[in-house]
Structure 1
Amino acid sequence: MGEFGLIEQVTAGREQSPGTLLGPGDDAAVLRAPDGRVVATTDVLVEQVHFRLDWSTPHQVGRKAVAVNLSDIAAMGAVPTGVLVGLGCPPDLPSSVAEELVGGMWEEAQQVGIGVVGGDMVSASSLTISVTALGDLQGREPVTRSGARPGDVVAVAGRLGWSAAGLAVLGRGFRSPVAVVGAHRVPEPPYAAGPQAALAGATSMMDVSDGLLSDLGHIAAASEVAIDVRTEQVEVPQRLSEVASALGADARHWVLTGGEDQALVATFPADRELPEGWRAIGAVAEGSGVTVDGFTYEGPSGWEHWR
Structure 2
Amino acid sequence: MAPLWDSEDDPDPIEIGTIGWLLVLARGVPLALLVFGGLIVLLLVRLVERPLCGLHRPVTPHITQFVCRNAFRILGIGFESSGELMREHGAVVANHTSWLDIFALNARKRVYFVSKAEVANWPGIGWLARATGTVFIERNPKQAREQTRIFMERLGVGHKLLFFPEGTSTDGLRVLPFKTTLFAAFFAPELRSTMYVQPVSVVFHAPKGQPDRFYGWWGDMEFGPHLLKTLAARRQGRVELIYHAPARVSDFDNRKALAAHCEEAVRHAHSLARLTP
TM-score range relative to shorter protein:
under 0.3
Select the structure of larger CA radius of gyration. Answer: 1
TM-score in terms of structure 2 length: 0.27
TM-score in terms of structure 1 length: 0.25
Q: Which has the higher contact order (CA 8 A, sep 6+)?
A: 2
* Structure with the larger helix share: 2
* Structure with the larger strand share: 1
